[in-house]
Every structure is written in C-alpha cells, then in structure tokens.
C-alpha cells in the first residue's frame, strides 16, 4: 500500500521569504500523480499544485513550485515570496495512475507566516 509522509508537523516563515515543505512517499508503481492541497482556517481543501510522475519537468503555479525527485520518492513544495494568506495546513497526496480511485494523504504540515 502506498504511504505518504510529511515529516514536518509545523513550519514557519517570514512574510516575503521562501519556505519548502517536505513530502516523501512509498510506492512500487511507476505511473502515479502527486498533489499538494492547502487547507486554510476556513477548512476547505484547495488544490495548490499537481505533478504527473511521467513528467520530468517540475510543476509550477505562480509562487508555488515543486521539486519532484522520482528516484528518491520525494515531492517537496516551495512557496516563494510568502504571503499572510499562505498560512494554512498543507497536505501532500498520492494517487495511482491506474483505475484505483484512492487519494492517499499525508498527515499535513501547518504553515505559519509571520509578518
């Protein structure tokens, strides 16, 4: 079974600086997808970024980018120019590329942004 590990329960960053959130996963599959979701205090889960395992190029969405290391099974999220609105719980998630519906989540990293 796939597992997703987020080793940092909490992180903090100064406004305008850069922070990296870590995620590792365990799988024997070669075809899969990885996601970062954000959960602000409002509780709603919001997709931040996604990465297809077959793509070597790291995904980027504005200030958010990932460092996808397939061999190391690592998928970290970098937030540049951090803003107060980035404060939230961040979840890393894994989905098999086959017909398996299941999205497996890590336990989350709580990010605090200090003004």
Q: Find the shortest distance in angstroms from Cβ 81 to other proteins.
A: 25
Q: How far is the CB of 3 from other proteins (least distance, A)?
A: 11
In this complex, which beta carbon is closest to other proteins, that of residue 30 or of residue 44? 44
Phi, psi of 90 (to 5 degrees): -115, 130
Site residues, other proteins (CB under 8 A): 4, 33, 35, 37, 42-47, 50, 52, 91, 95, 99, 101-103, 105-108
Q: Closer to other proteins at the Cβ: 56 or 101?
A: 101
Beta-strand relationship, 109-114 and 10-14: parallel
Phi, psi of 71 (to 5 degrees): -65, -35
Partner residues linked to 24 by β-bridges: 5, 74
């Amino acid at each position: 079974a796939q597992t997703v590990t987020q080793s940092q329960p909490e992180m903090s960053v100064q406004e305008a600086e850069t922070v990296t959130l870590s995620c590792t996963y365990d799988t024997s599959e070669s075809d899969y997808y990885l996601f970062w979701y954000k959960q602000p205090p409002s509780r709603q889960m919001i997709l931040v970024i996604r990465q297809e395992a077959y793509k070597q190029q790291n995904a980027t969405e504005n200030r958010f980018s990932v460092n996808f290391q397939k061999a190391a099974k690592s998928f970290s999220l970098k937030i540049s120019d951090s803003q107060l609105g980035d404060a939230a719980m961040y979840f890393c998630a894994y989905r098999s590329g086959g017909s398996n519906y299941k999205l497996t989540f890590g336990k989350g990293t709580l990010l605090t942004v200090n003004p």
